[in-house]
Amino acid sequence: MKVFKILVVSLNTNSFGLRRMVIVAEDGTAFEVYASYLNTKEEGDSMLQNTNGLFSGCEMAVQLDDAPKEAIDLLFKNKKS
């Protein structure tokens, strides 16, 4: 399982009531996922990608271009070794 952190969460919802979250792994892999208010996380929270490549409680996972180094540093710079 790969660990992702929430980079940004939309303030509004789409027509289905879902919030957009952009999530980033330490290797730069990035996705946008959508979640209901029950499953929306806060910026900086962690999220796991399961063995099927899905994210629990999320819809429509779309892979994005790799995140810039600045975004990775922002999310993971305080990680303990």
Domain ranges, ordered by start, for the chain? 2-76
Mean pLDDT of the chain: 91
Task: Dig out the tokens for 3 from the structure.
Answer: 């660990």
d(CA 35, CA 17): 8
pLDDT above 50 for 52:
yes
d(CA 49, CA 7): 15
Mean pLDDT confidence for 5-20: 95
pLDDT above 80 for 42:
yes
Look at residue 81 in the predicted model and tell me its pLDDT.
Answer: 45
